[in-house]
Amino acid sequence: MSFWTDLILSPAVIVTALAIGTFGEVAKLAISPKAGDVGWRGVYYVTLPAHPVIVGALLGLIPLLLAAPSLVTEGYDGAARFATYLLAGIVCKVGYDVIVSTMRRALGQEQARKDDR
């Protein structure tokens, strides 16, 4: 369990996950995709849930970035880097989904309380 805790809490994963989430939200606001869009906006809308993982995987292909220390093994630098940033994308996606679902649930319960009054 210590391996996974060290890996997920490594600065490379946390900072990258937060950066992917922040830039993703900015891009989503700038593009304003919606259901029924056609062309590239339609593709953007349909693939939106996968964007953090895709961006993380693409970041993992950049040779200058450092891998999480718990993944570094001699001779496997590329794989360690790819796994680090792919995990950052997954952490971003899961974290965002948890936060959004929690907020929707909390707001839904608050709305239900107001409707009962």
Task: Give 112 or 37, the one with higher predicted confidence.
Answer: 37
pLDDT in tens, 33-74: 999 999 999 999 999 999 999 999 999 999 999 999 999 999
CB-facing half-sphere around the CA of 50: CA atoms within 13 A: 8
d(C-alpha 62, C-alpha 69), whole Å: 17
% of the chain exceeding 70 in pLDDT: 92
Token reading at 75: 């001779």
pLDDT of residue 106: 86
Nearest to 83 by CA among 101, 74, 70, 95: 70
Query: How much is the pTM?
Result: 0.86
Residue 115 has pLDDT above 60, yes or no: no
| DSSP line for 61-102 | T-TTSPPPGGG--TT-HHHHHHHHHHHHHHHHHHHHHHHHHH
How many domains are contained in the chain?
1
> Which structural domain, as residue segments, surrounds residue 69?
2-116
> Helix or strand or coil: residue 33?
coil
